[in-house]
Amino acid sequence: MKIFIDTANIEEIRKTAELGILDGVTTNPSLIAKEGRDLKQVISEICSIVDGPISAEVISLDAEDMVKEAKELSKLHKNVVIKIPICEEGLKAVNILSKEGIKTNVTLIFSAQQALLAAKSGASFVSPFIGRVDDIGNGGLEIVRDISDIFNIYGLETQIIAASIRNPMHVLECAKVGCDVVTVPYKVIMQMIKHPLTDIGIKKFLQDYKKSNKRI
Ligand code: G3P
């Protein structure tokens, strides 16, 4: 399973890239706004740090403008993937872009039916939002499982990026259902590294070593 980071924060991306675990990056307009920086500048900088798919989202609402925005963004770097929300205009844009060889990530997916349509229209990736579904009391992971089953049955090549990840259990569950990619916030990546027994173990090894050094 590939691991992407879900952030537009350069520091978080740098620190995670140093761990050698990073396969790509996803951003969205909220994450870009949080940084208070220009979208194109941020995306170019990310592309210079991580060699993998980098999702940048369009903000237009009609297909023609989405395609224009997508073409501008894809000029930034060969790894740029255009994130487009699932809707009628979005699918139209995905269809046009896929025929021109521009990769797309269809986002704001909340059902397997939406994912199926996105795959049929030529999306390279679909992003089901697990956390937001869990937040309203439904099962986010069920959607990922259904999408994965459907894509396998029909041999659809669109990759699934599990998004809106809230905790390490989400990552574990995604890995168990054979998700292609999980895009994880920095905080959750850090939580995944930690285990209380590891901390206790490191402390104990160090104490024992120091004690024996005193005896020598
Ligand atoms: O980038 C899309 C998705 O991961 C957003 O997550 O936490 O805003 O639901 P969240």
Query: Does the beta carbon of 6 lie inside 6 Å of ligand 1?
Result: yes
Give the number of other CB atoms < 10 A from CB of residue 42: 21
Question: Helix axis angle, 88-99 relative to 63-74, nearest 10°?
Answer: 40
Query: Does the beta carbon of 4 lie inside 6 Å of ligand 1?
Result: no
Specify whether the CB–CB gap between 7 and 27 falls below 8 A: yes
Q: HSE on the CB side for 115, CA within 13 Å?
A: 28
Known catalytic residue: 83?
yes
Cα–chain center distance at 124: 13
Predicted pLDDT of residue 79: 98
H-type alpha helices, the chain? 10-17, 29-35, 39-49, 63-74, 88-99, 112-120, 130-135, 140-153, 168-176, 186-193, 196-215
Choosing from 83, 194, 211, 214, the catalytic residue is 83
H-type alpha helices, 136-185? 140-153, 168-176
Cα of 120 from ligand 1 centre, angstroms? 24
Cα of 215 from ligand 1 centre, angstroms? 54
pTM: predicted TM-score of the whole model, two decimal places? 0.95
Ordered per-residue pLDDT tens for the chain, 216 residues: 999 999 999 999 999 999 999 999 999 999 999 999 999 999 999 999 999 999 999 999 999 999 999 999 999 999 999 999 999 999 999 999 999 999 999 999 999 999 999 999 999 999 999 999 999 999 999 999 999 999 999 999 999 999 999 999 999 999 999 899 999 999 999 999 999 999 999 999 999 999 987 766
Cα of 144 from ligand 1 centre, angstroms? 15
Residues 132, 137, 140, 146, CA torsion sign: negative
